Amino acid sequence: MQLVRQKGNKSQQGHRYAAGPRGRFGVAVAALLVAALGTACGSGDSGPDKAAKAKAAKAAEAGAAGALSAAEKAKAAQQARVVAAKKWGLRKTPLAAPPAPKEKPEITTRDGFEVEDQEEYPNVFTTVPTEDKVVFLTIDDGSEKDPEFLKMMQELKIPYTAFLSDYVVRDNYPYFKKMQDAGVTLNNHTLNHRYMPGLSYEQQREEICGQQDTIQKQFGKRPTLFRPPYGNYNQDTLRAAKSCGIKAVPLWNAEAFTNRMDYREWDRDLHPGDIILTHFRGKEDWKGTMPDMIRHVMKTVTDKGYAVARLEDYL
């Protein structure tokens, strides 16, 4: 698929922290509790001071318990992910993505992908500028509706972003509602997946705004991201997208199949912040299923030391 406008570990901790079930974190929490309780129970305390210190101690104890609970939840989630990876045939457990950045990266249109007066329109990009060793998985259209795929992604906790075309989605909206309920953002890939530069401005606007309306009606939320079919667009496309409420146009830097990855860059490799494209496809189009495709993607990504992060967390 081509664009019309394209030109161009930390070392292991010492044994003194490894003996206990909670390790170094548990020691720190225990010290916090001891200090708080010692302050509250001083022999000279009386009256309001004693009550205030007792209240502070209880608050510290509650905070420590909450921190322990969060650590335990994270540990349990990772253990569940290890089990899920084995269940779904992954040789390695997917790496966990870092927390979402507090400050979002500044997104600009990729060089060579501009249209005239680009600064007035949503930015078109293939990679998110970040130093985090993460990539983003995006899936287009909606032809294949494999329930095993939904189950696999939910159990593995792999984030992804969907770009939907109504003409292949409308026969099973509930499938994509389940996806949305699991935390997946449903975005715009036009009503009928037509070649946008071959349409007039009004026709393009009907394709984009019509899909905005459909997604809002069926799923309750109007998208802010748009991907033109085949990655092809012109100035009218971006002008129409902006008029329909679109804020950004993420394309891709790599494309995934069941047995290979195709790359846009000369080095044929992944880079921090790269967007990966794949499709809702099955055995009719591929030599395998969507779970087969995910197994291949995750092997590639994990072997290269990357985690899959949520695209929307960086935009």
Give every CB contact of residue 133 below 8 A, 6+ residues apart in sequence. 272, 305, 306, 307
Q: Is residue 187 part of a domain?
A: yes
**Any idea what the CATH number is for the domain that residue 164 is in?**
3.20.20.370
Q: Is residue 11 part of a domain?
A: no
- For every residue of 103-125, DSSP letters joined together read SPPPP-PPTT---TTGGGS-EEE
Answer yes or no: do 135 and 275 share one domain: yes
Answer yes or no: do 208 and 125 share one domain: yes
Answer yes or no: do 295 and 231 share one domain: yes
Answer yes or no: do 168 and 299 share one domain: yes
Nearest partner of 293 among 189, 153, 142, 102, judged by Cα: 153
Question: How many other C-beta atoms can be found within 10 angstroms of the C-beta atom of residue 14?
Answer: 8
Between strands 185-188 and 161-164, the pairing is parallel
Answer yes or no: do 50 and 140 share one domain: no
Answer yes or no: do 190 and 291 share one domain: yes
From first to last of its 315 residues, the chain has per-residue pLDDT tens of: 444 444 333 333 333 333 343 344 444 444 443 444 344 444 445 555 666 666 666 666 666 566 667 778 778 888 888 999 999 999 999 999 999 999 999 999 999 999 999 999 999 999 999 999 999 999 999 999 999 999 999 999 999 999 999 999 999 999 999 999 999 999 999 999 999 999 999 999 999 999 999 999 999 999 999 999 999 999 999 999 999 999 999 999 999 999 999 999 999 999 999 999 999 999 999 999 999 999 999 999 999 999 999 999 999
**Terminal CA-to-CA distance of the chain, rounded, Å?**
24
Domains held by the chain: number = 2
Answer yes or no: do 42 and 176 share one domain: no
- Residue 307 sits at φ, ψ, to 5 deg, of -110, 155
Q: Which DSSP symbol is given to 270?
A: -
Which tokens go with 153?
Answer: 């992604």
- Residue 32 sits at φ, ψ, to 5 deg, of -60, -45
Task: Report yes or no on whether pTM surpasses 0.85.
Answer: no
Is the CB of residue 123 less than 8 Å from the CB of residue 108? yes
Q: Is residue 14 part of a domain?
A: no
Q: Residue 124: exposed, middle, or buried by beta-carbon count in 10 A (0-12, 13-18, 19+)?
A: buried
Q: 40, 69, 87: which is the final residue of a domain?
A: 87
Which residue range(s) make up the domain with 37?
20-87
Is the CB of residue 233 less than 8 Å from the CB of residue 3? yes
Answer yes or no: do 134 and 59 share one domain: no
Answer yes or no: do 61 and 142 share one domain: no
Answer yes or no: do 132 and 77 share one domain: no
